[in-house]
Amino acid sequence: MEELLIKKLSFTKKPIPLPAEYRPMYKIALIVMILKYSCRAETSNLLKLHLLSWALASQKNMTELRGYVTSNFKSDFSVWGIEPALNRALQLAVAENICDIVNGKNYKLTEKGNKFFEMIKADIELFDIEKSFLTLIGKNTITDSRITSMTQKWNLFYVEN
Amino acid sequence: MLKIRAIKLEVNTTSGLFGAEYEFSNGLNIIRGDNTTGKSSLFQSILYGLGFEELLGGKNEKTMQTALKDQVEFPDGKFHLVNQSFVYLEIENKEIVTIKRGITSDSRKPQLVDVFPGALLTGNDKTLPSRPMFVHDKGGASDDIYGFHLFLSEFLDWSLPEVITTKGEMSHLYLQQIAPAFIIEQKSGWSDFFATLPYYPMRNTESRVVEFILDLDVFENQKRKQQLSANKQQINTKWNLLFLQFNKLAEKCGGTLRGLEQNASIINSIGGIYIAMLKNEKEITLTDFNEQQKEELAVLEKQQTTTVGSNINKNEEALKKLTDKLNQLSLNYEMLSPELNYDNEKLKQYTKQLEAVSEDLRKNKGALKVKSLGHELPAETADDSCPACHQPIKDSLLPSEIKQTPMRIEDNVSFLEAQQKMIEVYIKGQEKVIREKEKKLLTYQTQLAETRQEIRDTKKELVQDERLPSVLEIEKRLNLKKKVEFFSKQIEDFTQLIEELKTLSKELENLLTKEKNLPTDFFTLEDRKKLASLYDGFIALLKKFNYQSKPFDAIKISNDNYLPVAEKSLDNGMKLAYNLKFDSSASDFIRCLWSYYTALFKTSVAFKTNHPMLLIFDEPKQQDMAIGNFKSFLSELSQFTEQQVLVFASFENSDDSFKEATQGLKFSLNRIEEKLIKPIS
């Protein structure tokens, strides 16, 4: 076999394209909009944030959640995704003082978070789809007890069986 | 002009009726009151009476001081609870009206305003009828019968200009947006030009306000430009419609449209637009095509109709040729048809890809925007720095163990845009391929049908009585005749469409000329005079008030927002303009504000513009301004004897300062002694 005469190999790392979902400020902006449009007292637990963040990830997810909500929670709704990226974004948001942790488990929008929201809201074109989806979901639709019952169902179907 | 004739406050407390009443005259009015006497309450009540309390940062009664809504302190240390309170404001333009608005009242909402047609405060007639109106609620600025601000703008003879909202719709400027040009409030009014301008989703509000106050024509010109672009839009729509009609016609004839562009453009040679027909693998125009058919028809018509018998040999040969042709055509058809299916499938995939990339692009653009918003907020994350430990971090939410470097969002956006463009090109190409193949398939189909018909006819003739005349030839003649008629009709339609196209092209040409003739900047000669006067007035006043932070020749009035800016020449010859605030000391910036509002007033007086001819300053002596400068300011203001200027000031709570600042000036004095709100006997 012929031998390859290579003395040195070097690799340069090229920057890779990254989906917007993995950009910190993008995710923080979504958190701010979720808390403001779709949460009572601008406060939410972690699972609900995950649910809505998952829904916003694609048209398909949005349609699914919307169908579930408009069918008055009667239709089938399976599992939603839990993504570590959201947790990281939440850590950043808390460190930025954009939201606060209250009662040790819930996230609440701060004054600075509200200011950020106003900036996002002022730009009509920015996140128009997300804004209208979250407004449609509204503050009183997905309550804590709803989340609990959804996760219970989920336990029943996917864990115990 | 808007003249404030008198104000009256009525406060019913648990200890009886309290209140205050003041009258103001033309020229300079000084309202002197020591700190905490309630000077600002009086100032704010004027704003409240006019429905301008948004300048104080809110709406309705919550903007007002405690003394007018909760409890009155009189004398110091003794408190009386408020049951009910009202502001009365007597104003004059060509007529006199009195406004009554409740601050605290069980029976009335603060949005309710009563308007009396006369001098309720200074006149003798206390029994005027009143008209109820409302402010701030929906319709307050537009409701014909009940909207107080609509009433007020009519009272002032103001036709408020239309401006573009951030949504791109037209909306009238609101009165409370114009007010910061002539009412300067104490707490935030001295922090910047038009600092108290309430926020509405409109573009460049400051510029629109100054344009309105100075009655500049620039606004008209901009509107004309918008009108023209609307017309252009219309022409484009018509053009598109026409383009579709042309294409439909071409399709009907089985040809292709050539020489016409989809977007409106001026057409010089009408002859270049034609429908191309395929004949013997060559393209010819529809007109030529029809001429050739006509000739063929003429030849056929001249011939004697032959009988079946004499055609047998010819027919047998023809039949063989026709069968060959049929086979070839069927083969072509069957080859092409699956190809087309495959192409359609490919197109579907491209379209799906495009959707995905477009969605990704939309999100990335959003991410880019929020990143810059975050920078303004400010959030350290937006600057790729950790908010907790201030170390640099990557712009990514991937776990830190992944050592990949993400693209910058800007690069990511251009990367996606390039992809999007590429897919769009694919799709366009694919669509063109499909269109062509579909057309070809259709041609095969018709040709197949025609050939089959011919074969049937030939066979029929071969078994017919030999003495009969040839049906085949008769049919051929009839068909050709029909075709000629059909195409002649289409050519007529085509000529008509061409006529329409000519008119449209002419319209477009006119429009483009008009557009070219619009001035590149929209100022008229009169506008320039006004702006020059504003500038001269501003600089002269700065000198007078002893402004020192910048050389005067570096100060300009911006042509964009009409605010003073400092200009700096860069190395490359470009000029950089920035807010004067950044290069002025705190007290010098107050001098700027004095000079600007006064110069605006002065220019408006000289050119008789829309300015209400009223200036109200709340505590203009800010930042430990020297009393001598303050005197120059007051002396400048005292020259507006025909107009009205109200200055609320404490004069450092000292009689000496007051004397020094006002010595030799002509003015009317209102002194607030002890407390503004006192028992009324």
Q: Cβ distance A15 to B406 under 8 Å?
A: yes
Structure tokens at A10: 């070097």
* Spatial distance between the Cα atoms of B48 and B54, rounded to a whole number of angstroms: 9
List the strands of the sheet with B644-649, edge to edge: B183-184, B614-618, B644-649, B27-33, B668-672
Q: What is the CA radius of gyration of chain B?
A: 41
β-strand partners of B618: B648
Kindly state the average pLDDT of the residues A82-87. Answer: 88
Q: Is the pLDDT of residue A161 over 60?
A: no
Tell me the pLDDT tens digit for each residue of B345-390: 999 999 999 998 998 899 898 888 888 888 888 888 888 888 888 8
Residues of B in contact with A59 (CB under 8 A): 359
Q: Which residues pair with B668 in a beta bridge?
A: B29
pLDDT at A128: 87
Q: Is the peptide bond before B198 cis (omega within 30 degrees of 0)?
A: no
Q: Which of A16, A29, A84 sits opposite B407 (nearest CB)?
A: A16
Within 8 A by CB and 6+ apart from B297, the residues are B477, B480, B481, B484
More confident residue, B198 or B178: B178
Question: What pLDDT, on the 0 to 100 scale, is given for residue A159?
Answer: 60
Cβ atoms of B519 and B532 closer than 8 Å: no
Is the pLDDT at B250 greater than 70, yes or no? yes
d(CA B649, CA B634): 11
Sequence letter at residue B578:
Y
Q: Could you tell me whether strands B16-23 and B3-13 are parallel, antiparallel, or unpaired per DSSP bridges?
A: antiparallel
Q: Is B281 a residue whose pLDDT tops 90?
A: no
Mean pLDDT along residues B394-407: 82
pLDDT at B427: 92
Tell me the C-alpha to C-alpha distance, in Å, between residue B41 and each of B12, B469, B616: 16, 113, 14
Nearest-by-Cβ selection for B377 from A27, A89, A115? A115
Mean pLDDT value of segment B271-293: 84
The tens digit of pLDDT for each residue in B448-504 reads: 998 998 898 888 877 877 777 777 778 888 888 998 999 999 999 999 999 999 999
Residue B220 has pLDDT above 80, yes or no: no
- Please indicate if any CB of chain B lies within 8 Å of the CB of A22: yes
Taking CA atoms, B558 is separated from B483, B555, B576, B593, in Å, by 71, 9, 11, 15
Give B633's pLDDT tier (boundaries 50, 70, 90).
very high
Bridge partner list, B116: B98
Candidates A20, A84, A89; nearest CB to B360? A20
Q: What is the pLDDT of residue A31?
A: 93
Choose among B217, B215, B219: nearest CA to B611: B215
The average pLDDT across A16-24 equals 87
CB atoms within 10 A of CB A132: 11
Asked whether B27 and B666 are in contact (CB, 8 A), the reply is: yes
Closest-CA distance, B653 to chain A, in angstroms, reads 38
The domains found in chain A, sorted by start residue, are 20-160 (1.10.10)
Question: Contact at 8 Å (CB) between B112 and B146?
Answer: no
- Cβ of B397 within 8 Å of Cβ of A29? The answer is no
DSSP letter string, B126-184 = -----EEEESSSTTTTT-TTTBHHHHHHHHTT--PPEEEBTTS-EEEPPHHHHGGGTEE
Average pLDDT over residues B595-607: 93
B463 close contact with A: CB closer than 8 A: no
- Asked if A59 has any chain B CB less than 8 Å from its own CB, the reply is yes
CA B473 to chain centre: 70
At residue A1, the pLDDT reads: 54
Q: Residue B468: what are its φ and ψ, rounded to 5°?
A: -75, 155
**B381 or B342, higher pLDDT:** B342
**B171: β partners:** B163
Give the span between the Cα atoms of B116 and B118, in whole angstroms.
6
Of all helices (H) and strands (E), which one includes residue B649? strand B644-649
Q: Which of A95-109, A146-160, B513-527, B573-587 has maximum average pLDDT?
A: A95-109
Query: Residue B307, Cα to own-chain centre: how many angstroms?
Result: 79
Distances (CA, A) of A23 to A92, B366, B368, B601: 12, 11, 9, 51
Question: How close is the nearest chain B Cα to the Cα of A47, in Å?
Answer: 19
Give domain limits for chain B.
218-282+483-519, 307-468
Name the CATH topology of B307-468.
Helix Hairpins (1.10.287)
Q: How far apart are CA B572 and CA B569, in angstroms?
A: 8
**Residue B511 CB neighbour total at 10 angstroms:** 17
The rounded mean pLDDT for chain B is 86
Tell me the mean pLDDT in the region B276-299.
84
Q: What is the pLDDT of residues B120-152, one digit of tens each?
A: 888 888 888 888 888 877 666 666 667 888 889
Distance from CA of A147 to the nearest CA of B (A): 26
Residue B599 has pLDDT above 90, yes or no: yes
Cis peptide before A84 (omega within 30 of 0): no
A-proximal residues of B, 408-427, CB under 8 Å: 408-409, 411-412, 415-416
Report d(CA B461, CA B465) in Å as an integer. Answer: 8
Question: Residue B604 — very low, low, confident or very high, per pLDDT cuts 50/70/90?
Answer: very high
Cα distance between residue A28 and residue A40, in whole Å: 18
| Percent of chain A whose predicted confidence (pLDDT) is above 70 | 95
Q: Which residues contact B645 (CB under 8 A, 6 or more apart)?
A: B27, B28, B29, B614, B615, B616, B617, B637, B638
Please give the pLDDT value at position B169. Answer: 72
Rounded to the nearest 10°, the torsion over CA A35, A39, A42, A47 is -60
The ipTM (two decimal places) reads: 0.82
Chain A, nearest residue to B396 by Cα: A23
Please answer whether residues B538 and B595 qualify as being in contact, where contact means their C-beta atoms are separated by less than 8 angstroms. yes
Asked if B401 is an interface residue toward chain A (Cβ–Cβ < 8 A), one would say no
Whether residue A34 contacts residue A53, with contact meaning beta carbons closer than 8 Å, is answered with yes
CA-based nearest residue to B544, from B586, B595, B589, B580? B595
Least confident interval from A67-81, B314-328, B536-550, B624-638: A67-81
Q: Which percentage of chain B shows pLDDT scores above 90?
A: 24
Output the pLDDT for position B314. Answer: 80
Coil, strand or helix at B84: strand
Mean pLDDT (whole number) for B291-308: 81
Q: Which residues of A touch B386 (CB under 8 A)?
A: 95
For chain A, the straight-line distance linking the first and the last C-alpha, in angstroms and rounded, comes to 58
Q: Give the Cβ contact number of residue B289 at 10 Å.
A: 22
**Alpha carbons B383 and B371: distance in angstroms, whole number:** 8
Beta carbons of B14 and B632 less than 8 angstroms apart: no
CB proximity list for B572: less than 8 A, separation 6 or greater: none
Q: Which residues of B391-404 are buried (b: 16+ CB within 10 A; e: fewer)?
A: eebbbbbbeeeeee
Residues 6 or more apart in contact with residue B76 via CB below 8 angstroms? none
